[in-house]
Amino acid sequence: MKKITILLVWALLCLNFKIKAQDLKALKLGDKVPEIFWQQEHSVYKNGQIVKQNLSAFKGKLLIIDFWATWCSTCFHKFSFLDSLQKKKSKNLNVLMVNTTKTGDDLSKIKNSISTYSEGKTFSIPTIYDDQYLMSLFPHQMLSHYVWINKLGIVVAYTGSDFVNSTNIELSIARFAKP
């Protein structure tokens, strides 16, 4: 009887986890990100520090999420551009780099890659590492992959690196500048 009860509890727990996983659906263009998107806690590497933080500070501005990997050479091409733009447009723009569990990268590889790239300069863009949540919301097959979320929290674009340029960023900021 005890074994049957344990098996029954185990089965119910498995069903519960499956239902929760199904609640997390991939977002399409025009979808508003759920409130949990801003509240979900992430492991973040920034300026040599590792912290746990949510994305609430990124609300109300254009947010460009850059999915990347240490083994993706094309991913590094936009780092300098995005870092300088982040500093210039900090009132209207947030950039967030994301390295998912799917890449196979660990924290030491990420640190080394960012350190090599920055060559001692301050790199202001935070990197979420060991991510599964954002990968579930914004699934993709190729890198580099960018997700654009406007200041209203609406997914407005999925792009490759070719579309990440000053003109497109300025247009996106201007389009939603007025309340």
pLDDT in tens, 90-144: 999 999 999 999 999 999 999 988 888 777 677 889 999 999 999 999 998 888 8
Task: State mean pLDDT over 46-56.
Answer: 92
The helix/strand/coil state of 20 is helix
- pLDDT at site 137: 95
Q: Are 33 and 148 in contact (CB under 8 A)?
A: no
**pLDDT greater at residue 16 or residue 50:** 50
This prediction has a pTM of 0.83
The helix/strand/coil state of 31 is coil
| Domains of the chain and CATH, by start | 26-175 (3.40.30.10)
Q: In the predicted model, is pLDDT for residue 14 greater than 80?
A: no
Size of the chain, expressed as the number of residues it contains: 179
Residue with tokens 């009887």: 1
- pLDDT at site 11: 53
Q: Are 38 and 59 in contact (CB under 8 A)?
A: yes
Question: How many Cβ atoms from other residues are within 10 Å of residue 170's Cβ?
Answer: 15
Task: Tell me the CA end-to-end span of the chain in Å, nearest whole number.
Answer: 63
